[in-house]
A and B are shown apart, each in its own frame.
Chain A
Amino acid sequence: MNRPARNHPGFWAFVAHRVSGVALVLFLPLHFLALGLALESDAALEGFLAATEHPAFVIGEWGLVTFLTIHLAAGTRVMLLELLPWRDTRKGLIAFGAVLAVVVGAVFLVRAG
């Protein structure tokens, strides 16, 4: 069975876009449920947020922030390639998106850690 020839930046950008998208859409219901605690009382939400101080949670939030940035950057590149008649695959935008995700993630960790 032939494995496809994939080792190029456009493919990895796609992988990052897809993985981050799946993670985010699966995370969203949990996010909404957590915020919905405020329906019970402010204290209920506060209790949950206090629990998120735990390092495991901070790492998880870092992951989500990074994924969100990746998904935004990769999606923006795809839409630019679809809407504008460029003749190349704009790999520079992939690098830009990757750097942006690392920076945003780093800023988050520095401030939240």
Chain B
Amino acid sequence: MTPVWLFLAQRLTALILAPLVIAHLAMILIVADGGLTAAEILDRTRGSVGWGLFYGTFVLAAAIHGPIGLRNVIQEHTPWRGRSLDAAMLVLGGLLVTLGGRAVVAVVGQP
């Protein structure tokens, strides 16, 4: 976890996330009219390989980008640093991949 690799991972995932976030925001604004129903989400996503790839990529990139950023925040504003913090951030990344992957399966998988 040398600085330049963390930096590269953070910036690369940022580049991947940017278009995904723009698309996500656009969809939110479009769908926000009136209430949001499960059908509005699931009719679009169920059985869709495309949406599976979209959200799967989103989850993976966010699971890398978030913990690296949070690590900086914790190191700079609390005394916590070193291997235990690195381990905790790996755990957070694993948690995000697991919960996120589960969520992707939940909305894309056929019931």
* Same complex origin of A and B: yes
A interface residue numbers (CB < 8 A to B): 18, 21-22, 24-25, 28-29, 31-33, 35-39, 41-43, 45-46, 49-50, 52-53, 65, 68-69, 72, 75-76, 79, 82, 104, 107-108, 111-112
CA distance A39 to B106 in the complex (A): 5
- Summarize A's interface: helix, strand, loop or mixed: helix
Contact with A along B14-46 (1 / 0, CB 8 A): 110010011011001100110111110110000
- Summarize B's interface: helix, strand, loop or mixed: helix
CA distance A31 to B102 in the complex (A): 11
In the complex with contacts A33-B99, A37-B106, A49-B66 CB distance below 8 A = no
List residues of chain A with CB within 8 A of the CB of B103: 31-33, 35-36
Q: Are the C-beta atoms of A28 and B100 separated by less than 8 Å? A: yes
> B6 on the interface (CB 8 Å rule)?
no
> B105 on the interface (CB 8 Å rule)?
yes
Closest 3 CB pairs of A and B: A25-B66, A32-B99, A46-B38
Q: Are the C-beta atoms of A29 and B99 separated by less than 8 Å? A: yes
The smallest beta-carbon distance between B46 and chain A, in angstroms, is: 9
Q: Are the C-beta atoms of B41 and A65 separated by less than 8 Å? A: no
Other-chain residue from B29, B69, B105 in contact with A25 (beta carbon distance below 8 A): B69
